[in-house]
Amino acid sequence: MAPLVLSVRPSTPSGRVRIEGNSGASGSCRFCATPAKPQEPSSFLDADGACAYCQLVRRLDRPSIDNEAVLIWLPELTQAALIALVRECHARLRHCGVQHLTERGSTAVLHGSVPIEAREALAAIAAFRSRIAEVEARLGSSSPKALAQAMSRLNGKVYADRARRLHGVRLMPLGHP
Ligand SMILES: [Zn+2]
């Protein structure tokens, strides 16, 4: 897999290189290895071979990023592993027809009529959301937009070292890009 680093500009400019057999609706994401599936819009690949969730990580400067994702502190998991887990959670919630509960997190887990597979997904999302406070303590914000603005002011050398400097900071897609 290609490295998946929080970025405000892709290292491979879009359109310059087309990844043969890995763009469009077929193949797998180059960054998280998710296979593109017609029934799963978040798995669709862009010209760089990135799925919709990995595109968020690579373009923190998207205008709507704060509605699409939040920063959390999660050094235990790689960005690609977090995306794979979050995608599975969102797929389960959609499968159970309760994707609207995503935002409510742990309080919805107590709701007895929610199927067990959806409750597990909600519990996992709530656990990830509980790491927002830690990233706020460390960075001063959990807003991807704020991080993008800070990153765009960095000089090239510091920006190139962002993966090490941001160790533990992950982007959690919210499931409604
Ligand atoms: Zn991906």
More confident residue, 39 or 13: 39
User: Ligand 1 mean position to 98 CA, how many Å?
Assistant: 23
Residue 13 lies inside a defined structural domain of this protein:
no
Contact status, residue 148 vs residue 8, Cβ threshold 8 Å:
yes
Instruction: Judge whether 162 lies within some domain.
Output: yes
pTM assigned to the model: 0.87
pLDDT digits (tens, 9 = 90+) for 119-164: 999 999 999 999 999 999 999 999 999 999 999 999 999 999 999 9
Residue 4 inside a domain? The answer is no
Q: Is residue 12 assigned to a domain?
A: no
Q: Is the dihedral of CA 107, 110, 113, 115 positive or negative?
A: positive
User: Total structural domains in the chain?
Assistant: 1
* Distance (Å) from CA 10 to ligand 1 centroid: 14
Q: How far is CA 12 from the centre of its chain?
A: 19
pLDDT in the model for residue 26: 64
Mean pLDDT value across the chain: 87
Please give the distance, rounded to the nearest whole angstrom, from the Cα atom of residue 175 to the centre of ligand 1: 13
In the reported structure, the alpha carbon of residue 53 is separated from the centroid of ligand 1 by a whole-number distance in angstroms of 6
> Does a structural domain hold residue 20?
no
Distance 16 CA to ligand 1 centre (A): 19
If you measure from the C-alpha of residue 28 to the centroid of ligand 1, how many angstroms do you get, rounded to a whole number? 8
Distance 3 CA to ligand 1 centre (A): 11
pLDDT, tens digit (0-9, with 9 covering 90-100), for 3-22: 999 999 755 554 444 444 44
Ligand 1 centroid distance, CA of 149 (Å): 23
Q: Which residues of 25-81 form beta strands (DSSP E)?
A: 69-73
Domain that holds residue 117: 41-173
Q: What CA–CA distance (Å, rounded) separates 173 from 71?
A: 9
Q: Is residue 160 part of a domain?
A: yes
Whether 16 is covered by a domain: the verdict is no
In-domain check, residue 80: yes
86 near 51, Cβ under 8 Å? no
In the beta sheet, which residues pair with residue 45? 24
- Residue 33 Cα to ligand 1 midpoint, Å, equals 6
